[in-house]
Structure 1
Amino acid sequence: MFTTVFTHQFNASHQVPYLPGELAELHGHTWRVSLTVAGPSLNAHGLLMDEVAFATPMRDFISARLDNAVMVGAGDPFAPILDAHGKKLFVFGSDYDGAAWPTSQALALMLAQHGHGWLAAASDRKDVHLASVTVHTAEDVTATWRNPTLLPALTFTR
């Protein structure tokens, strides 16, 4: 199995007001995200896939929508205030409806869902899959989404 890891870093703030402690307060991170693509073989060019065709829309999306943004939930009372003041917002539960709040796990899930589309546009191979998405909020804290359908059934021969 071969893998290619696409990594991008961006700065954004977020808050999750229903959680206790400092996560409830507006705070920022230098987020680092890694999307891993996997497949059993290389193409005729010695690559798993067209790397630029995947990396470009990934980085464009992150730069346009998340970099230097405030990530909030649709139920966050600060969302309308920030929006009224022209702040760059990404609203979970609105801009992305797969999760209500901007947790690192929700960000991993959102990027995984977009990643499937980026991969489909970058490669027509049916044996290449998005294997995982890891979100780093700190040097020692990560959240990872793993593709549950990637692993084939195991067969044993004698």
Structure 2
Amino acid sequence: MRVGVGGSAGAVFYADKYHPIQAGSIDGTDVAPHDNAVLRALLCSTAGLYDPFGDPKAAGDPYCTVFVGHLSRLTDDETVRKAMGRYGKVKSMRLVRDIVTGASHGYAFVEYETDKEMRRAYEDAHHSIIDGSEVIVDYYRQQLMPGWIPRRLGM
């Protein structure tokens, strides 16, 4: 575990390995699940019920891919592609949708041509506004962080 910015009150907590309980912690010191979804994700993780490399929809280079969350449910594919295209050439993009209704789940994965473009999007697009919603942009953790498990498995 690492704490950034010298342990100050405004410091950001970073982990070397994913742990469901600490992922929900502001400073990484939590030892008990703060809600039932985190507990279920922890149980799923320890039981080995999730394989991050087994997702057939997970394609592309994880080192050139960012996660874009908190999108408006009304935002369409072209809007995400255009907004994220400001940071580099978008190689592929997937707005995640419900398999039954086709409605947006409010997040997307954007793959860039190079890791330099991905880093630019990570740094510059975080907290930007797309269709009136302030989005979060993060690294694609699925195949990069040991032990990572999607929170949706705990919901």
Same fold (TM over 0.5): no
Q: Select the structure that is richer in strand.
A: 1
With normalisation by structure 2, the TM-score equals 0.26
Instruction: Give the structure, 1 or 2, with the largest relative contact order (CA under 8 Å, sep 6 or more).
Output: 2
Larger Rg: 1
